[in-house]
Amino acid sequence: MRRLVAETRLHPADLVLPLFVKEGLTEPAPLASMPGQVQHTEESLVEAVRAARDAGLGGVMLFGIPTVKDANGSQADAADGILQRALRASRKVLDEVPEGTATPVLMADTCLDEFTDHGHCGVLTADGRVDNDATLTRYASMAVAQAKAGADVISPSGMMDGQVAMIRDALDDADFLDTSILAYSAKYASAYYGPFREAVDSELKGDRKTYQMDFANAREGLREADLDLAEGADIVLVKPAGSYLDVLRAVADRSDVPVAAYQVSGEYAMIEAAGANGWIDRDRAVLESVTSIKRAGADVILTYWALELAEWIK
Ligand code: PBG
């Protein structure tokens, strides 16, 4: 009876698996703060994408970590940069299925923080502030490089004003009319990103409070989503997920495009840590946390448990 009348049901195609690929690695490197997650080599990344494909996931979201970081994040849009190489290899694996088979959508993180030696999501002015408009030009170039490498979805996560419109124009000019944009619209400056900083070898000192939102604000999150919708976002995203279910619900109620939510590294780490200590039932907490995100209005959920969950719910 409970199953029959359940109002919310997860499906593998709702889920997107975030994956990290690091240039120059010879073996996958486990992440201490994210038990079960790794920085992939180019080879192991391909295996993970294949597993995501075979599990019927809705998508994979790729993050690249270059060996050389600099002030402009030059490797972010280099044709042979780690992220572009990983996208090309993933494209190949996703396409090696019989015609007509549904495969995960290939998403690329479109942000400079993994590529800059200062760790900010944009380039800096001479006095060290994040330069919004100069960063837009970098994102446009990155988006085109990612589309050329086979990405289906460009995912600006840097919270620069005007990023969606700028990227849409650049994609259209380069004839990538069908490449979609997943906009990180309501992204909060959050303590829950802690483990991710290890995952991408972040060089960040300080914080991102000049471009990410204050966790006190809900209305502002709606305004950010409205702006991205007006600029042509194909999917709007709320991040983190678990502590922002109110924002997620409100965005879902007014959005006329699909809504995504990102269950971030800290949300993952907390449940893993408490589970490992025997303080909570890990598996039940995983299912409850992800189902709650869907109940609150997410059509698409980015979660590090995507593969494991897909196995449980298929
Ligand atoms: C920025 C980015 C971040 C995350 C995804 N994209 C970190 C940040 O904004 O500081 C965090 C994801 C996570 O914590 O799982 N490119």
| Rounded distance between C-alpha atoms, residue 239 and residue 300, angstroms | 12
Among 112, 113, 159, 238, name the best residue to mutate to test ligand 1's pocket (greatest count of ligand atoms within 8 A of Cβ).
Answer: 113
* HEC readout, 112-157: CCCCECCCCCCCECCCCCECHHHHHHHHHHHHHHHHHCCCCEEEEC
Question: In degrees rounded to 5, what are phi and psi of residue 155?
Answer: -125, 80
| Rounded distance between C-alpha atoms, residue 313 and residue 23, angstroms | 34
Q: Which atom of ligand 1 is nearest to the CA of 266?
A: 14
Which of the residues 69, 187, 294, 314 is marked catalytic? 187
43-82 pLDDT per residue, tens:
999 999 999 999 999 999 999 999 999 999 999 999 999 9
71-90 pLDDT per residue, tens:
999 999 999 999 999 999 99
What value does the mean pLDDT take over residues 14-40?
Answer: 97
What is the per-residue pLDDT for 197? 86
Q: Which pair of tokens denotes residue 207?
A: 């914080």
Binding site membership of 196 for ligand 1 (Cβ less than 6 Å)? yes
Q: Which atom of ligand 1 is nearest to the CA of 268?
A: 15
What is the per-residue pLDDT for 205? 84
218-243 pLDDT per residue, tens:
999 999 999 999 999 999 999 999 99
Strands 15-22 and 38-40: what pairing? Answer: parallel
| Rounded distance between C-alpha atoms, residue 245 and residue 152, angstroms | 27
What is the per-residue pLDDT for 113? 96
Among 139, 155, 193, 264, name the best residue to mutate to test ligand 1's pocket (greatest count of ligand atoms within 8 A of Cβ).
Answer: 193
Confidence band (pLDDT; 50, 70, 90) for 201? confident
What value does the mean pLDDT take over residues 152-170?
Answer: 97
Confidence band (pLDDT; 50, 70, 90) for 199? confident
Binding site membership of 264 for ligand 1 (Cβ less than 6 Å)? yes
pTM over 0.85: yes
Q: Which atom of ligand 1 is nearest to the CA of 114?
A: 16
| Rounded distance between C-alpha atoms, residue 154 and residue 157, angstroms | 10
Active site residue 69: no
Rounded to 10 degrees, the C-alpha dihedral 109/221/177/149 comes to 0
- Mean pLDDT value across the chain: 97
Which of the residues 22, 239, 294, 314 is marked catalytic? 239
| Rounded distance between C-alpha atoms, residue 301 and residue 56, angstroms | 14
Binding site membership of 157 for ligand 1 (Cβ less than 6 Å)? yes
| Rounded distance between C-alpha atoms, residue 257 and residue 252, angstroms | 9
Active site residue 187: yes
165-197 pLDDT per residue, tens:
999 999 999 999 999 999 999 999 999 999 998
242-301 pLDDT per residue, tens:
999 999 999 999 999 999 999 999 999 999 999 999 999 999 999 999 999 999 999 999
In this structure, is the dihedral angle defined by the CA atoms of residues 173, 179, 180 and 181, taken in order, positive or negative? Answer: negative
